[in-house]
Amino acid sequence: MHFKLRKNVERLLGKTRCLQSPTACCNERANSVRSGASQTPSPLGQLTGDSQHSMAVDTYICFPSHKIDHVLAPLTRFRANAQHVHGDLAVEYYRQRSSEPGTLLISEGAFIAGKAGGFPHVPGVWTDEQIIAWKKVTDAVHEQRSFLYAQLWALGRTADPSVLEKDGYEYVGASDIPVTDKPKPRPLTTCGYAELLAAMSKPLTLNPPTEIQEYVQLYAQAAVNAVQKAGFDGVEIHAANGYLITQFIHDSINNRTDEYGGSIENRARFALEVLDACVKAVGASKVGIRISPWEAYNESHIDNTIPQYTYLVNRIRELHPDIAYLHVTEPRVVSLESRDPNDESNDFIRKIWSPLPLISAGGYTRDIAIEVADTKGDIIAFGRPFIPNPDLPRRLRENIALTPYDRSTFYTPETAKGYTDYPFAS
């Protein structure tokens, strides 16, 4: 391989490593942020300017106990059973994709509770059976010396109301703005004093007025279940793509007039509370968060991307600079589709977040990934290319041709076809 290209790939894949212990790196990183050091954008490798600190690499995540080379983006595949429990298929799927030691796999979205779901065949992380099933998956990944984060998911208004109804749950959202062809969701309630009084005077069939706080706690409990019981290395809060947390953040779909709506600060509140609760539950170094600042997927258009996300990311950085990572989706992709990003860019987030670990996903080819890792210092996550290429890290490193993906098998419930039957490169 051409020397420069090879050097870039090695940087992309994090081959140049920190010479300090990972824990020391992370502590130093968090301390430098807390003390306000190194506020200008810089590669992770120039975190402190300390000559003894040999971090000449700009693409890796430094967790307290491990280092990361490659990242699988979260991918829902509908292979769990009707009880939202994974079987052997998922063990094999994640085993295959962790074959290169040092890979960080971010799991498909996993429901934090039955009431937060509303799609069939998506795994959950709230029952004992689900947790035991995930433990087999995390064991398989750890046997390969790779790492697995659980993506914590609540659907809100994007749920299928008929699925919720069948399971005995209500159709709820951040507010009552409906998605096309779906009924109006019931807005989650708060524990405001006035609402508490109003709710108390109504029939007992009403949900408790502390609903939003209950959801915050469901995220925290799911984080505990994932990390302390199912053996995940951490959790990623799914605050992207128009699902429940985005429904609070994005102005076009949040018409609340209480402390969770009406201003940039209020719309960010739920996301920050969830993050805070998860950090308290399992520790900052085991929590990441995914956002999609430009994405209008699930009719989640936002008019004020830059002010809203500038506030949110600044607050995350102030409150929890030592979380595992911030994960952003790129404006050139909306969910699974390419789109023209015009002049939209996540660079304003990079400016705020640097030099902390930033994962970027969406529409990366090998060449773009090398360029962005090289010039911006991002850690690159791959979604669709990882589906038909279980050995993607090796293929990227050795520039082996990629097998094309087949969309028709993305979401086929409980079948191995298009899931675990893709070959490794010879």
| Contacts to ligand FMN by CB under 6 A | 73-76, 108-109, 151, 238, 240-241, 290, 329, 333, 336, 361-364, 382-385, 410
Q: What's the min distance (Å) between Cβ of 117 and ligand FMN?
A: 13
Nearest to 232 by CA among 240, 222, 241, 245: 222
Q: What's the min distance (Å) between Cβ of 13 and ligand FMN?
A: 16
Q: What's the min distance (Å) between Cβ of 76 and ligand FMN?
A: 4
Q: How far is CA 388 from CA 92, 252, 274, 360, in A?
A: 14, 36, 34, 20
* Residue 215 bears catalytic tag: no
Residue 153 dihedral angles phi and psi, to the nearest 5°: -130, 135
Nearest to 243 by CA among 152, 331, 325: 152
Q: What's the min distance (Å) between Cβ of 139 and ligand FMN?
A: 22
- 60 CB-near residues (< 8 Å, 6+ apart): 14, 17, 18, 44, 67, 68, 69, 357, 379
SS3 state at 72: strand
- 86 CB-near residues (< 8 Å, 6+ apart): 79, 80, 123, 130, 133, 134, 136, 137
Which residue, 26 or 174, has its beta carbon nearer to ligand FMN?
174
Q: What's the min distance (Å) between Cβ of 78 and ligand FMN?
A: 9
Q: What's the min distance (Å) between Cβ of 108 and ligand FMN?
A: 5
Which residue, 76 or 98, has its beta carbon nearer to ligand FMN?
76
Given a contact cutoff of 8 angstroms between Cβ atoms, the answer to whether 379 and 357 are in contact is yes
Distance CA(217)–CA(388), nearest Å, equals 37
Nearest to 96 by CA among 75, 82, 81: 75
Which residue, 22 or 117, has its beta carbon nearer to ligand FMN?
117
Which residue, 18 or 334, has its beta carbon nearer to ligand FMN?
334
Q: Which residue is nearest to ligand FMN (CB)?
A: 383
Q: What's the min distance (Å) between Cβ of 222 and ligand FMN?
A: 14
Which residue, 200 or 336, has its beta carbon nearer to ligand FMN?
336
Exposure string over 365-390, b if 16+ CB within 10 A, otherwise e: ebeebbebbbebbbbbbbbbbbbbbb
Burial class (CB in 10 A: 0-12, 13-18, 19+), 223: buried
Q: Which of 93, 243, 297, 422 is catalytic?
A: 243
Distance CA(374)–CA(296), nearest Å, equals 29
Which residue, 70 or 290, has its beta carbon nearer to ligand FMN?
290
With residue 316 as reference, give the H or E element that holds it.
helix 305-319
Q: How far is CA 209 from CA 197, 404, 420, in A?
A: 9, 49, 45
DSSP assigned state of 226:
I
Residue 153 bridge partners (DSSP): 111
Which residue, 109 or 331, has its beta carbon nearer to ligand FMN?
109
As annotated, the active-site residues are: 243
